[in-house]
Structure 1
Amino acid sequence: MSSPYYLRYYDPPEHLQRYILVLFHFYSTKKDVSDRNPGAHPQLILCPQGTGGMRFPDGRYDRLGRVNLAGGMSTAIPFDVSGPWHTIGATLSPLGWAALTGVPLRDHMDRFFDPEELLGPEITSFADDVNERYLSGELSGQATGYALCDWIAERLKPIKPEHEALIEQTLDWLGKSLNPPLEGLYERMSYSRRQTERLVERYFGSPPAALARKYRAIRAAALLAQPKLSDRTQAIIAAAFHDRPHMVHEISRYCAHTPTRLGGDEDPILVTLLQMKNFQRLQLFNNIK
């Protein structure tokens, strides 16, 4: 029996790879889909077909539109969709979010909202056009993704060079280990400790300690979802947590599953969302695998 799910990732054009981590094309033939989104990164998402939404911890239910902008999630968020469901999107880096929207990510976490709020009405007219062309068969999922890239590229704005350097330094710090010490971040910055915390929260959505905690759990889950792990990688994961109950608690918080369930067939959407291309683009596995 063929799978009711289809997922394909595409690399963005080389000149956009600092801004867009990956393009994705997903569809499901199932009538009803429910899962959880770990949502580590912001996304701009086209939804040509399907209806549904996401339920947030405060009880708010955000409905999916034909085009959606998500700033990233602080924990795994449940969603439900009535299908068939088709979606094409771009996962944004911290630099990409800042250059596209011009607003602090910290103020737009845990939301799935109408992108006209930040990108203007032209995003809706663009989405209506490409969604229709996709559904008619004129555009493939890949071609729709590249059209989205072109739309984004024309609207990227420069940010302060010193802030761009802070983003790169923060990513370098995160990539040193699954559990990078906070002092290692502050030592490399030209800002005070408090200024560093404010700027990291502005561009990454969370202050440094919370950011490291979330990325530790999601990266560990991404590794554990792989079919084979080396002894070295298993040891690195184990060393990043106090003990196994701590690891189970953290992965459950940010991915909504225990490590024993990762990589199984029960939640194929979550497993695909834990794919590692996003982290590889940000060079967050350099010293881990």
Structure 2
Amino acid sequence: MELRYYMPRSDLRDYVRAYYFYSVDIASSETLCAELGNIRVILRGGGMLQMPGGQLEPSMSAFLLGPTLGSYNLMIEPKTAVFGVGIRPEGWHALFGVSAEELADKVIDLTAFAGGILMSSIEEIRNAETLAEMSAAADRYFVDQLNKRQAHIRQRYPVELANWLLDPNDLGLDALMEAMDVSRRQTDRLAKLYFGASPKFLQRKYRALRAADRIRAGETAWMNAAGSKFYDQSHFIKEFKTFIGVTPKQFIDNQARLIAQIQQMRVQSALQIPLASF
């Protein structure tokens, strides 16, 4: 298994969090935790995705995977290689003009969704010999998209919401509404537009992701990994498995090896990727 990252152009990093190359030699089945959206271009091979709701989706030659609201599984054919693009929450509106809620837990054919302009970029990516060349082709496409859509970007990205989700103290909704200076209904609307779900649901998701980060960093005591917002150990285990895909013990025992490798690569590559797993 090979996993490598490459950073986008500096002026794209509010919208695109990272490019990556992933390949396997043998057939495998991997668990992935709940994450933000991705674009994936299959360079060779293929496979299936089992989404959080249990439905099976074939991996199209190029597809858009919306933000996932629970763990999901990859079933990968031998000799598969993928070029991927991690989309930040701000990118849904700026690059595609769609609500993240519309695409949550969905797999969409990328060429049908984005139109013919993207097909030449996909072909350029497939003909590239290095991850740097693939990333440069993707950079050019996203810069073109931003230039075309700039006049249509009316909604200010809710930085306060992102900060609230990242806060390790698990602040209440009142604190979020005060920081954003909008109603409860507006906070829900903005959370679904950019992140695909309500603030309270997202807080559960990122609470579990933070716990997984602590475990990967070496924390083995469940109370320290969990933080203070879980009722008891059984509640922690249930939430962890919902969003990470395995129990904390299975995660410690490296039974979700791809998640662990993703997290480790982020550290080794000095990638600052908040609110993200891939």
Determine if contact 2:49/2:73 at 8 Å carries over to the other structure: yes
Q: How does 1:79-98 map to 2 (within 5 A)?
A: 79-98=74-93
- Determine the structure 2 residue equivalent to 1:6: 2
- Determine the structure 1 residue equivalent to 2:163: 172
**Distance of aligned partners of 1:148 and 1:260 in 2 relative to their CA distance in 1, 3 Å threshold:** same
Q: Which amino acid aligns with 1:255?
A: I
Determine if contact 1:89/1:145 at 8 Å carries over to the other structure: no
| Whole-angstrom distance in 2 between the partners of 1:94 and 1:66 | 24
Q: Identical aligned pairs, as a percentage?
A: 23
**Distance of aligned partners of 1:249 and 1:274 in 2 relative to their CA distance in 1, 3 Å threshold:** farther
- Determine the structure 2 residue equivalent to 1:235: 224
| Whole-angstrom distance in 2 between the partners of 1:34 and 1:191 | 43
Q: Which amino acid aligns with 2:131?
A: G
Q: How does 1:29-48 map to 2 (within 5 A)?
A: 29-30=25-26, 32-48=27-43
| Whole-angstrom distance in 2 between the partners of 1:236 and 1:34 | 27
**SS of the residue 1:89 aligns to:** strand
Q: Which amino acid aligns with 1:261?
A: Q
Q: Decide which of 190, 193, 204 is 2:184's aligned counterpart.
A: 193
- Determine the structure 1 residue equivalent to 2:208: 217
Unmatched tracts of structure 1, length 5 or more = 285-289
**Distance of aligned partners of 1:244 and 1:234 in 2 relative to their CA distance in 1, 3 Å threshold:** closer
- Determine the structure 1 residue equivalent to 2:245: 256
Deviation at 1:111, TM superposition (A): 1.0
**Distance of aligned partners of 1:264 and 1:25 in 2 relative to their CA distance in 1, 3 Å threshold:** farther
**Distance of aligned partners of 1:141 and 1:108 in 2 relative to their CA distance in 1, 3 Å threshold:** same
Determine if contact 1:36/1:256 at 8 Å carries over to the other structure: yes
Q: Decide which of 14, 17, 39 is 1:21's aligned counterpart.
A: 17
Determine if contact 2:212/2:225 at 8 Å carries over to the other structure: no
Q: How does 1:112-131 map to 2 (within 5 A)?
A: 112-131=107-126
**Pairing 1:150–2:146 present:** no
**Distance of aligned partners of 1:59 and 1:224 in 2 relative to their CA distance in 1, 3 Å threshold:** closer
**SS of the residue 1:130 aligns to:** helix
Q: Decide which of 62, 68, 72 is 2:67's aligned counterpart.
A: 72
- Determine the structure 2 residue equivalent to 1:55: 50
Q: Which amino acid aligns with 2:19?
A: L
| Whole-angstrom distance in 1 between the partners of 2:4 and 2:271 | 17
4+ residue runs over 6 A deviation: none
**SS of the residue 2:197 aligns to:** coil
| Whole-angstrom distance in 2 between the partners of 1:99 and 1:263 | 38
TM score, norm. by length of structure 2: 0.87
**Distance of aligned partners of 1:272 and 1:153 in 2 relative to their CA distance in 1, 3 Å threshold:** farther
| Whole-angstrom distance in 2 between the partners of 1:265 and 1:76 | 16
Q: Which amino acid aligns with 2:45?
A: G
Determine if contact 2:111/2:118 at 8 Å carries over to the other structure: yes
Q: Deviations over 1:176-216 (max 9, x none)?
A: 22523221111112322112211211111001100111111
Determine if contact 2:65/2:108 at 8 Å carries over to the other structure: yes
**Distance of aligned partners of 1:206 and 1:9 in 2 relative to their CA distance in 1, 3 Å threshold:** same
Aligned residues: 270
TM score, norm. by length of structure 1: 0.84
Determine if contact 1:101/1:118 at 8 Å carries over to the other structure: no
Deviation at 1:114, TM superposition (A): 0.4
